[in-house]
Chains A and B, each alone.
Chain A
Amino acid sequence: MTGTTPDRATSHRATSHHEGPAMPTYVGMPSFPSAARAAVADTRLRGNLAHATSTIRGRRAEAVAELDDWAALRESGKQIKDHVLANLGHYLRMLEERVTAAGGTVHWARDADEANRIVIGLVKATGETEVVKVKSMATQEIGLNEALAEQGVTAYETDLAELIVQLGDDRPSHILVPAIHRNRSDIRDIFLRSMPDAPEGLSDSPAELAEASRRHLRAKFLSAKVAVSGVNFAVADTGTLVVLESEGNGRMCLTLPETLISVMGVEKLVPSWRDLEVFLQSLPRSSTAERMNPYTSAWTGVTPGDGPGEFHLVLLDNGRTATLADEVGRQALRCIRCSACLNVCPVYARAGGHAYGSPYPGPIGAILSPQIRGIGSEVDASLPFASSLCGACYEVCPVAIDIPEVLVHLRARAVESGPRHPLERTAMNAAGWTLRSPTRLALAQRAASASRRLVGRRGRIRRLPGPLKAWTDTRDAPVPPPESFRAWWARTDGGRTEERDK
């Protein structure tokens, strides 16, 4: 074993994860509102996203409706994850012991830099300069491909959508469908431009595009000596790692190379195989709307003569224990990366994934990124506000993460973290002062009513000043009434004098 011990990994202080670039590719991202403004105006992106998310959303609803025990599955998933999180040190040590006993090597990485250093060291030790990759959120999170490239190692993404993103020199915009912002003619253009062996005259038919990528990737599978993967689930009591996928590229990467390196967030544990039963049902139905995903690969250490002869597991903290310390926020660690919340989110569908400035976009990203990275940057401080709190995400979450609750919780943290909006603070304090007293509220209402002839015509206001202009840019605002409800109530004895006068 190299790296830190489990005790150190699970006890380090909340502050340590703020140091260093935890998601290097995303440093200096603009705040969500400014990134989203551009996305909203991109009609092609809007079209691609609206089509893709509404299709997946409908299919997921059907796949979930087939099960009469969905509510029980959801509750079980939640409880299993909560149990693991409450006993994380115990299960991590168990996993380390079982993986080691089965011939694997376990490494502990406190943050992105440490994880990258470990993987780079392991790849260099093989003498190889190329690795094939199975789609992995954890390695996106730590910016592994970029870190490997700096050391002269080329990482080839083998998931079709990740390949499209990589060849397009692009960033993923969806957890499950990283190239959701691309349509098939975009993909054909990217292949023709950047895939060295793309056939001439490639059309944008899905079958031709799939065949081109299949041929391209086949050569990589057959030559690669090292593979890097993520992990969907780790079974603590047997030391088994599990990857769910649709394309079979994962199975290739997990079995053909000589060395396999898997990077896993520490929260990916389940206690036993029995617990997997829940997630092997809820994950595919929530993510791809399938009853069962096409490929589920499970491996335990190494097996002589079968599969990679060398297996390394990198356990990644990168802000997770700090997140675990927060009573409200920790439920984000239940996430199984299904992306159902993205597909139902009206904000995601219009802003797209890139606006979230993180490999974790959408509602889950809005609560995960500011927790694992800390609320330091503009984008992280803006993410908890990137929601209308409509609650559609919570409703579909297969592990019942109350995303709106965590968003509101993180909004308070964002406000407390620094004076970002002094004008807003002044307005909120003034509103608070007014609303704390019925007398002051009545006075404010009288002032509003007195202003009604000045501010608007025919019952509406077409232009408001200052920050309120954001409202009247697209919407009229109502004109205050001649008298407030409370003034009416006081004047008419609750309407009784009016009734008598009739």
Chain B
Amino acid sequence: MKIALFVTCVNDTMYPGTGKAMVRLLRRLGHEVDFPMAQTCCGQMHLNTGYRDQAVPLVKGFAEAFASYEAVVTPSASCAAMVRDSHARLVPEAAETAAKVYELSEFLIDVLGVTDVGAHYPHRVTYHPTCHSLRMLRVGDRPLRLLREVGGIDLVELPEANECCGFGGTFALKNAPVSAAMCADKVANVRSTGASTLCSADNSCLMHIGGALTRAGAGVRTVHLAEILAATEEDPA
């Protein structure tokens, strides 16, 4: 299978470790993954902020960059949802490529058929299911099923897990007080678990919650799902 990695502009620029973990994980599972250099961004920020015209060329660029692959896997539930839900509406010709895009947990479980990826991560971890993974992609408990199989992990339940962390892209700036109030409640719930690691399937949400966690000196680190699944006893994260 010809697999492409859609790393997303945020991960590409700010969180290269997540992209590297994707490559390492998929290789360990026996799959080569390509990184088409023509990729940039799915257009979500522009579309969701009201700049639809600016999103359209990005959608076209995405469809061209990934057209020749059988599957496109991405470490962002939010970007995967943007591609699958909105690309065809913005650019009808983008439909075919959009349909081949999978978020990491979907790809592992639905396409590759694995839940135990041979990972080892001996830490107390709590998982925040992002809004777009839950309510747009509907990944359900796939990320948790993957995490439960990780060796050495102490997975603890996050109270009020399904509540939004308040990120919402430019919402975090345009409505900063409301966003910060939502984040404060998420942080309190994360801290109540006693976890040392907060895991999620989207670095944007982790950037938001993590920014509040470090500001509060909470001593909880944020780690993307891909990085936990890529970690092994020989090669820890």
> Considering the complex of A and B, which 8 residue pairs feature the smallest CB-CB distances, nearest first?
A388-B168, A475-B211, A411-B50, A415-B50, A390-B164, A391-B135, A432-B54, A470-B176
Q: Whole-angstrom distance between the alpha carbons of A413 and B134 in the complex?
A: 28
Whether the pair B208, A475 counts as a contact (CB closer than 8 A) is yes
A15 at the interface (CB under 8 A from B): no
How far does the Cβ of B67 sit from chain A's closest Cβ, in whole Å?
Answer: 15
Q: Whole-angstrom distance between the alpha carbons of A248 and B17 in the complex?
A: 62
Q: Which of A40, A438, A475, A481 contacts B181 (CB 8 A)?
A: A40
List the B residue with the shortest CB-CB distance to A382. Answer: B174
CB-CB under 8 A for A389 and B14, given A435-B40, A438-B37: no
Instruction: List the one stretch of A165-173, A197-205, A264-272, A486-494 in contact with chain B.
Output: A486-494
Whether the pair B54, A428 counts as a contact (CB closer than 8 A) is yes
When each residue 323-364 of chain A gets 1 if its CB lies under 8 Å from chain B and 0 otherwise, what string results? Answer: 000000000000000000000001100110000000000000
- Kindly list chain B residues whose C-beta atoms are within 8 Å of the C-beta of A429: 54
Footprint of A on B, CB under 8 Å?
Answer: 7, 9, 11-17, 19-20, 23-24, 33-35, 37-41, 45-52, 54, 57-58, 61, 131-132, 134-136, 162-164, 166-184, 207-208, 210-212, 214-215
A83 at the interface (CB under 8 A from B): no
- Kindly list chain A residues whose C-beta atoms are within 8 Å of the C-beta of B9: 435, 441
Q: Whole-angstrom distance between the alpha carbons of A502 and B172 in the complex?
A: 42
Whether the pair B16, A346 counts as a contact (CB closer than 8 A) is no
Whether the pair B57, A346 counts as a contact (CB closer than 8 A) is no
Interface centre among B39, B51, B212 (most CB of A within 10 A): B51
How far does the Cβ of A459 sit from chain B's closest Cβ, in whole Å?
Answer: 8
List the A residue with the shortest CB-CB distance to B14. Answer: A478
How far does the Cβ of A225 sit from chain B's closest Cβ, in whole Å?
Answer: 46
CB-CB under 8 A for A471 and B211, given A37-B177, A390-B168, A486-B35: yes
Q: Whole-angstrom distance between the alpha carbons of A435 and B62 in the complex?
A: 11
Whether the pair B37, A486 counts as a contact (CB closer than 8 A) is yes
Task: Offer 28 A-B interface pairs, CB within 8 angstroms, sorted by A.
Answer: A32-B175, A33-B177, A36-B177, A388-B131, A388-B171, A388-B179, A391-B132, A411-B49, A412-B51, A431-B46, A432-B46, A432-B51, A435-B41, A436-B40, A436-B58, A441-B40, A474-B183, A480-B13, A485-B7, A485-B16, A486-B35, A488-B16, A488-B19, A489-B35, A490-B37, A494-B34, A494-B35, A495-B23
How far does the Cβ of A420 sit from chain B's closest Cβ, in whole Å?
Answer: 10
- Kindly list chain A residues whose C-beta atoms are within 8 Å of the C-beta of B11: 485
Q: Which of B46, B164, B171, B182 contacts A385 (CB 8 A)?
A: B171
Q: Which of A387, A392, A425 contacts B135 (CB 8 A)?
A: A392
A467 at the interface (CB under 8 A from B): yes
- Kindly list chain A residues whose C-beta atoms are within 8 Å of the C-beta of B48: 389, 408, 411
How far does the Cβ of B22 sit from chain A's closest Cβ, in whole Å?
Answer: 9
Whether the pair A390, B131 counts as a contact (CB closer than 8 A) is yes
Number of A interface residues, CB 8 Å?
A: 67
Q: Whole-angstrom distance between the alpha carbons of A489 and B48 in the complex?
A: 30
Q: Which of B34, B51, B181 contacts A428 (CB 8 A)?
A: B51
Whether the pair B175, A389 counts as a contact (CB closer than 8 A) is no
Whether the pair B20, A488 counts as a contact (CB closer than 8 A) is yes
12 A-B pairs besides A385-B170, A387-B168 with CB distance below 8 A are A347-B178, A388-B131, A388-B179, A431-B46, A435-B40, A436-B57, A470-B172, A474-B176, A475-B208, A477-B207, A481-B16, A494-B33
A156 at the interface (CB under 8 A from B): no
How far does the Cβ of B188 sit from chain A's closest Cβ, in whole Å?
Answer: 12
- Kindly list chain B residues whose C-beta atoms are within 8 Å of the C-beta of A489: 19, 35, 37
How far does the Cβ of A90 sit from chain B's closest Cβ, in whole Å?
Answer: 30
A108 at the interface (CB under 8 A from B): no
Interface residues of A in 377-415 (CB under 8 A from B): 384-392, 394-395, 408, 411-415
How far does the Cβ of B192 sit from chain A's closest Cβ, in whole Å?
Answer: 16
How far does the Cβ of B234 sit from chain A's closest Cβ, in whole Å?
Answer: 11
How far does the Cβ of A44 sit from chain B's closest Cβ, in whole Å?
Answer: 15
A473 at the interface (CB under 8 A from B): yes
Q: Whole-angstrom distance between the alpha carbons of A431 and B51 in the complex?
A: 11
CB-CB under 8 A for A483 and B16, given A388-B168, A436-B57, A475-B212: yes
A468 at the interface (CB under 8 A from B): yes
- Kindly list chain B residues whose C-beta atoms are within 8 Å of the C-beta of A462: 215
- Kindly list chain B residues whose C-beta atoms are within 8 Å of the C-beta of A2: none
List the A residue with the shortest CB-CB distance to B206. Answer: A478
- Kindly list chain B residues whose C-beta atoms are within 8 Å of the C-beta of A32: 175
CB-CB under 8 A for A387 and B208, given A431-B46, A438-B37, A484-B13: no
List the B residue with the shortest CB-CB distance to A441. Answer: B40
Whether the pair A437, B19 counts as a contact (CB closer than 8 A) is no
Whether the pair A484, B16 counts as a contact (CB closer than 8 A) is yes
CB-CB under 8 A for A346 and B163, given A429-B54, A431-B46, A432-B58: yes
CB-CB under 8 A for A351 and B38, given A474-B183, A484-B13, A488-B20: no
- Kindly list chain B residues whose C-beta atoms are within 8 Å of the C-beta of A386: 175, 178
Whether the pair B164, A346 counts as a contact (CB closer than 8 A) is yes
